Amino acid sequence: MIPDTETVRARWARVQHHLRADGVDAMVVVKPQNTFYLSGYTPMIYSHPVLVVLPAEGEPVFILHALRAHSSRTVSRISDIRPYGRWAKEIGPDHWWQVLAGVMAERGLGDARIGIEGEFLPVNYQRRLELTLPGAVFSDTGQALMRARYVKDAAELESLRVACEIADAGMDAALEAVAARRSEVEVSSAAMRTMQEVWSSLHPDRLAMDFGNLEGGVFNALWAYSLVGDRVPMNSAPPTSRRPVDGEIQWTVIWTAIDGMHAENERSVAVGPLPAERQRAFEALLAIRAEVQPVLRPGLTCAEVYEAARESYVRHGYGDYLPGRIGHGLGLGPHEQPSLGPNDDLVLEPGMTLTFEPNLRIPSFGGLQHSDSLVITEDGHELLTHTRRDLIQV
């Protein structure tokens, strides 16, 4: 579902505000998440560079391959589309940088201060920018753009709610498969098939998509993996044929992305009755969650939330197992700022979307982690994933 023009124009204004604060005259945006944010258009496959030129004042320009000219014209909220390359009867200059040079000259930005995405833009692209605009001065304004994306707009929150609904359905299927003592792969696949069904039958006009890199695209964002017992501390690892045995803990991770917005739902499950050490750890983790959760409210910094968690871990005797953070931002990327860790002074604001996921990784038996997606509200937060969060035993 493509956000309306008004929504996208408000995004331009937010980013432009931060660009002016950073003292640049324009930003050349290449990262797929960001060009999607500013245009509402994704080619899905990023085999040919897609660029948005966003001046600090005025309308942006979209530069993309002739191959994408037709589809972008039907969808993009940026109306000034300039193709490069050839595709059937659509013929532009051979290269994106030739189009860029023309746009910058036309806008009087040839010798301007230009922002780029330093954490993303490949070296060769930067060299090409420098050759194309020899009088320009470049600086990294990736953070300026990211700051504009912290607080989500109504369209993003709507997409996130759908992403969470699908993630919940996937988790229901995963819990059922764990109860049947299925393997890591079977649990993962059961969740993914269910999410496909829910997406295609209930939300077919939403995009189930993720973002690729500059070489190719990756798109199928209804994703799950599951790890058992001593494999949990691997954190992220391809699932295997390993099945749980009684007394183990199985951990399932679900990530969905709807209209690009990422949701997360993770649950640890006791397979049969747990030995005492595991039972105690699971109960402690639930107590820590209960103590820290009320602190997720506007006005506090991420570091203050983390400090509350630290105290709670120590109080329950698990100070040695305090993770590096207990949650992270959700947006067009699966891991965004803010980070609920010790060094983030960002103040939580209504409209920010986060995961809440304190964990215990205990080498002797594995690990425990429930993760929920939430949005900060005027007076606290709202959990957007709804799977039961207690000591789940199957």
Considering only residues 82-101, where is the footprint of its own copies by CB under 8 A?
Answer: 86-89
Q: Considering only 54-62, 235-243, 294-302, 377-385, which stretch makes contact with its own copies by CB under 8 A?
A: 235-243
Euclidean distance between CA atoms 312 and 289, whole angstroms: 9
Q: Is there a cis peptide before residue 338, judged by omega within 30 degrees of 0?
A: yes
Euclidean distance between CA atoms 252 and 273, whole angstroms: 18
Under rule CB under 8 A, residue 176 binds its own copies:
no
Site string for its own copies, 269-308 (x = CB under 8 A): ----------------------------------------
Under rule CB under 8 A, residue 122 binds its own copies:
yes
- DSSP state for residue 310 in the 8-state scheme: H
Euclidean distance between CA atoms 314 and 288, whole angstroms: 10
Strands 113-116 and 137-140 turn out to be: parallel
Under rule CB under 8 A, residue 13 binds its own copies:
no
Query: C-beta of 311: minimal distance to its own copies in Å?
Result: 20
Residues 319-378 that bind its own copies (CB under 8 A): 321, 324, 333-335, 361, 363
Site string for its own copies, 133-162 (x = CB under 8 A): -------x----------------------
Under rule CB under 8 A, residue 181 binds its own copies:
no
Euclidean distance between CA atoms 358 and 306, whole angstroms: 10
Query: C-beta of 217: minimal distance to its own copies in Å?
Result: 7
Under rule CB under 8 A, residue 249 binds its own copies:
no
Which residue in the set 13, 134, 215, 345 belongs to the binding site for its own copies (CB under 8 A)? 215
| Max intra-chain CA distance, the chain | 71
Under rule CB under 8 A, residue 120 binds its own copies:
yes
Task: With both helix axes pointing from N to C terminus, report the angle between 96-106 and 123-132 in degrees, rounded to the nearest 10.
Answer: 50
Question: In the sheet where 336-339 sits, what is the strand order?
Answer: 336-339, 328-329, 353-356, 372-377, 380-383
Under rule CB under 8 A, residue 185 binds its own copies:
yes
Task: Please enumerate in sequence order all residues whose Cβ is within 8 A of that of 358, keeping only pairs 6 or more positions apart, or say none.
Answer: 285, 288, 289, 292, 309, 313, 323, 326, 369
Under rule CB under 8 A, residue 254 binds its own copies:
no
Which residue in the set 45, 101, 286, 303 belongs to the binding site for its own copies (CB under 8 A)? 45
**Ramachandran region, residue 215 (left: φ > 0; alpha: ψ -120 to 50; beta: rest):** alpha
Q: Considering only 212-220, 268-276, 370-378, 382-390, which stretch makes contact with its own copies by CB under 8 A?
A: 212-220
Euclidean distance between CA atoms 199 and 193, whole angstroms: 10
Closest to its own copies by CB, 203 vs 381, is 203
Under rule CB under 8 A, residue 214 binds its own copies:
yes
Query: C-beta of 372: minimal distance to its own copies in Å?
Result: 18
Query: C-beta of 322: minimal distance to its own copies in Å?
Result: 10
Under rule CB under 8 A, residue 318 binds its own copies:
no
Letter string b/e over residues 312-332, b meaning 16 or more CB atoms within 10 A of that residue's CB: bbeebebeebbbebbbbbbbb
